[in-house]
Amino acid sequence: MPGTAMMRTGAWLESLASDRPVPGGGAAAALTGALACALTGMTAAINLRRQKKRGQRPVSAETVRIARLLRGRFLSLADADGKAFAAYSSAHTSAQRSSARRKCLKPPMAMSASAAELSRAILKEVPRTSKWLASDLKEAALLCWAAHEAAALNVLINLGPGDRSARLRMSRRAEHLRRVKARVDRARYLS
pLDDT at 190 over 70: no
pLDDT at 126 over 80: yes
Q: Containing domain of residue 150, as a range?
A: 21-186
- What is the CATH number for 160? 1.20.120.680
Is 109 contained in some domain?
Answer: yes
Is 2 contained in some domain?
Answer: no
**pLDDT value for 117:** 96
Give me the number of domains the chain comprises. 1
Is 9 contained in some domain?
Answer: no
**pLDDT value for 184:** 84
Is 170 contained in some domain?
Answer: yes
pLDDT at 156 over 70: yes
**pLDDT value for 1:** 59
Is 11 contained in some domain?
Answer: no
H or E element: which one contains 68? helix 61-90
The residue-averaged pLDDT of 163-175 equals 80
pLDDT at 131 over 80: yes
pTM: 0.88
Answer with the residue of higher pLDDT: 2 or 99: 99
Is 14 contained in some domain?
Answer: no
**pLDDT value for 102:** 81
pLDDT at 191 over 60: no
Alpha-carbon dihedral 44, 175, 147, 132, rounded to 10 degrees: -30
Q: Mean pLDDT for the chain?
A: 88
The residue-averaged pLDDT of 97-122 equals 90
Per-residue pLDDT tens over the stretch 8-37: 888 888 888 888 888 888 999 999 999 999
Neighbours of 120 (CB within 10 A): 12
- Cα distance between residue 25 and residue 37, in whole Å: 18
**pLDDT value for 135:** 93
Is 86 contained in some domain?
Answer: yes
pLDDT at 4 over 80: no
Is 70 contained in some domain?
Answer: yes
Please give the C-alpha separations between residue 73 and each of 13, 16, 123, in angstroms, as whole numbers.
20, 20, 20
